Structures are given as C-alpha cells and as structure tokens.
Amino acid sequence: MAVDLSVEFCGLKLENPFVLAPSPSTDQLDLLIEAFDAGWAGAVLKTVAVDSSVVSRVFPLVMRIEQSGAFIGLQNIDLVSEHSVEFMEQMVVTLKNRFPNKVVIPSIMASTKEDWQSLTKRFVAAGADIIECSIWCPHGAEWGLCTKVQDPVGTEQIARWVKEAAGDVPVVIKLSAQDSDIIATAVAVERGGADGVCAINTIKSITGVNLDTLIPYPNVAGVSTYGGLSGPALKPIALRCTAEIAQNVDLDIASSGGITTWQDGAEFLLLGASTLQICTAVLRFGIGIIQELRAGLESWMEEKGFQSITEVIGRSLPYLVEHSQLPRGIQVVSQIQSELCNGCRSCLTACRTGGNNAIIWREGFPQVIMNKCIGCGICRAMCFEKAITLVRPSGAVNTSKIQF
C-alpha cells in the first residue's frame, strides 16, 4: 500500500510534514540548500527584525541541559538574525527560484504596526510562501523588538495588521506556552484573520548555577541571563498546547518543541498538528535526520493502515476528555515481570513513599501484595526496565482490549 506523506498546511501542499524551525541552521543559505536537497519540505528562516543589527551577539549563546548524563534540552540566549532584511529577502528569492516546490517561511518580529506591515509586504514581494510572526520571545524583550507578554488583545491586533498586509499569502502566529491562556490567544489569532499558529516557542528558563563560581549558566564574562529552553524537555508541554488548540479553534497548527524522532512527530500529528518544525534535533544529529524521520513515519503509517497524513491528523483527539469524564471504578494492579527486573528496588521505594506500600522484597525480588495494590502506577513510572505492567486482577470483568 502506497503511503502519501504530503500534507496541506494553510492552503499550501507540502511534500511531507517536516519543516526546519527558525534557528542557526536556517540562517545560512548553503545549509538550507543542503536541507532542501535532503528532503525537508520547508524551512522557517531565522527571525529578522527591521533593524536586527541593534542587538549585538554575546557568547556563549547555547548551553546543554542534562539530567543524570542524559540530554534533555538546550538553553539559548540568541535573539534575531544578524542579517539585514535585504539579505533575508534575497535568500527567499534564491531559495524559491531553486526550489519552487519547497515552502519558504520568513519569521518576522516588530513592535509597531508600520514595521509589521513593512516587513510583511517586503517578504511577500520576495516570494515568501507563508509569513510567520514571532510576537513574543523568552528573553531580550528589553531591546524593544518584541512584546514582553503575549496577550490575546495584542496578538489579535498584530494578526490583523499582518494579514492585511499579506493579502493572499498565509499568516502564522507563533504562540507561547507561558501565555496564561493559550486557548484564548489562539482564538484571538483566529479572530484576527490569520491562517494558522505555531506552537510552541521556547520557554524562558535558567540552565543552572555553577556551584563553584556561583554564577548561573551561561557565564558571559561574569554574568548571565535568562534564555529559551528547547529540546525533549518541551515535548509534553508542546503536545498539550497542540491538543488544546486543535480542540478549540479551526486553525492549521505547526507544532514545535521537543520533536526528536519520527515517533514524536506521529504523536503531534495525532493530536492535531499539520506540520512539524524541528530545531534542536537537527543541531544534535544533522540535516540528514530527515531520512529517518520520513522513513519511520511512512513505515508506521503502512503498519497502521493509514494511506495519507490527513487520516492521521487529530486521530487521537477524541480520546482526550475532561477529568470528570474519565471512567471510574476500573481496578488495576501492578504485575512485575521477573525476566525484565534488574533488582534496582526503584519500585519498592516508590510504593513505600508515594504508593500504598504494596510491594515487598522477598528472596532478592520485588513482589506485589495484590490486596494492597491500588493501581496508582507510581512503581511502573519509576521502572526504567519497563518490567511492570498494570493488569486487571483475576476475576475482574474482561477488559482485554484496554491497555493500561
């Protein structure tokens, strides 16, 4: 069965849902050419302002964030592109001439109606397929290139300004998970006439503190600042935002935040995304990651019987309900698979400190006291070997089709 990876986004057809997010990778023409040749469907250029040169770079720009040696994200203190608007216009022209079927998306940032509309008109004239608006940034707002807070009223106004200037060219508004009500802001985007949203921007963060010097990271000549968190740590938040937006507004969604594998991408599509913007994974693994992303998604779709991306988008949304609508009275208990258990005792500790003290240690192996287990799942959550499953106790009504 042939699988079609193409997707409709804001009225445009993309050959697949994978798009480069605005980043250092999309600020270099040679890398963009390499990416399009490799199979990326499009790219969002690094954000540009009317006068990007007002912000001079500081170094280092990026810090790794890890937990127990595992990579969980990056924090960056980079801001807008240092390239001029003229340079970025020419980049759009060059890319569209060479790759007419790829989607080229300038990302713009401004603080006045005149600047929002001026940038929009210039990039539309250069041949941009979509205009993406970066209204709020997690750091550096004091430079005056973006708003300090993304609120529904201001966002609606900017969406209307930009759409007015863009004409038939689609407009996408980038949203922040730090918004107190991202649904209200998405609704405001819809009222403002924009065609889609990108969710989410990086999240304002601090990487950590050097316990020897007492200076937070990154250390820039003895001082530090807040930055934007990206990477795997953002995935649960970005998934939530994608689903909430999809359930409440009729806008196309470009999801961004923590997408590293094709499995991640499939989850975002199932929760309502149409396209997938990727940055941190590209910085880690290179432009060539697109081959694995496309092949993995295509293989999964074949296995599940999906013939097109359209059949995947939003497929999991009906399973998301309000907490009050969750089924009550279904009892489950933990079951430990001895062949997978490595004897780390994590389940024992978790059950004693946060569960119902239903796990005992006997002859070098954890055992569940069935009449004490309430099925909370804390032990399963703490088991890195995936040796614990939740099952219906013997004698319960058959629910073999339910996966706990």
Q: How many residues does the chain have?
A: 404
The single residue of 137, 279, 347, 373 carrying the catalytic annotation is 137
In 3D space, the residue among 123, 117, 193 whose CA is nearest the CA of residue 156 turns out to be: 193
Q: 117-126 as b/e, with b when 16 or more CB fall inside 10 Å?
A: bbbbbbbbeb
Comparing C-alpha atoms, which of 94, 80, 85 is closest to residue 32?
94
Residues paired with 64 in a beta bridge: 74
- d(CA 161, CA 211) in angstroms, rounded, equals 48
Distance, CA of 18 to chain centre: 12
Q: In sequence order, what are the residues at sequence separation of 6 or more whose Cβ sits closer than 8 angstroms to the Cβ of residue 198? A: 44, 132, 172, 173, 174, 175, 253, 254, 255, 256, 277
Spatial CB neighbours of 365, under 8 Å, sequence gap ≥ 6? 336, 338, 341, 343
Residues 104 and 93: their CA atoms lie apart, in Å, by 10
Furthest C-alpha separation in the chain: 75
137 classed as catalytic: yes
Read off the amino acid at residue 239. L
Two tokens, residue 154: 């201001």
Whether the Cβ atoms of residue 222 and residue 215 lie closer than 8 Å to each other: yes
Beta bridge partners of 136: 147
Spell out the alpha helix ranges (H) of 41-112: 85-98
DSSP at 217:
S
Q: What is 334-365 written as a DSSP string? A: EEE-TTT-----HHHHHHHHHS-S-EEEETTE
CA neighbours within 13 Å on the CB side: how many for 152? 11
Q: Which residues are catalytic?
A: 137
